[in-house]
Chain A
């Protein structure tokens, strides 16, 4: 079983739609959680950290359920520019140490 599991997609959605990505992690010692975004043939970039209380950044909302070892990302009012691969990432310590990535979920936002 992979340490971080994601639905690979692709998710094809119309512009303006709301889309949700889910992720589960197997290591209960994980302490830090992130969503990274990766455009085609580019490097991953931090989208947002994920906190137990849930957090929001504009159209993006992240949730963490430690009991279920489950992380989610909600994107509201999708834009064409949101098309990318979204990587769920966990770390057993702070984010400056080893990051464990899921395989990523591909999102395509269409007109």
Chain B
């Protein structure tokens, strides 16, 4: 049973460029959340996708956008990269409870480490 997989694991970009990060959730999970983790900090919530729609969003600018596909996989896109976007980007998957509220445990991928020069 594959866990959460992310690609690429590492990448280097320059300021102003665009990047796309990819995530496949754990088997049986339908909800994907994205987090940004700067060095020495806790993960910061970017947004969450369920049923191919953005359901929740953190305090991130519109340069950060995403998508969820019918197979539940997801992409995170960041446009006009800034030096401050350098971080570990974590994808986490979970499943919506029958109650209709997602309070399930998050399973994290190993992350994509982005360096912006």
Do A and B bind?
no
Which of A's residues lie within 8 Å of B, judged by CB? none
